[in-house]
């Protein structure tokens, strides 16, 4: 299971980040990621003997089977 920032969204917004830094904004003041993805590998979970609740599977952005 993995929960992290959506890299495609970060890449799309990277030009805006660079522009703001070049205009004088401190890099630490640039906003944090706003879109996150939940990915669940159901095959690995079964191999480890873990049961993933159906409600968690329904909320996942991607389920690897």
Q: Which residues of 9-30 are buried (b: 16+ CB within 10 A; e: fewer)?
A: eeeeeeeeeeeeeeeeeeeeee
Q: Span 60-65, mean pLDDT? A: 95
pLDDT score for 4: 94
Q: Span 20-27, mean pLDDT? A: 92
Whole-number percent of the chain with pLDDT over 70: 100
pTM of model > 0.85: no
pLDDT score for 31: 83
Summarize pLDDT for 27-53 with one digit per residue, the tens.
888 888 889 999 999 999 999 999 999
């Amino acid at each position: 299971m993995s929960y992290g920032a959506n890299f495609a969204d970060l890449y799309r917004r990277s030009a805006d980040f660079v522009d703001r830094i070049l205009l004088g904004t401190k890099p630490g003041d640039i906003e944090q990621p706003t879109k996150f993805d939940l990915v669940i590998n159901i095959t690995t979970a079964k191999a480890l003997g873990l049961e993933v609740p159906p409600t968690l599977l329904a909320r996942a952005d991607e389920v690897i089977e």
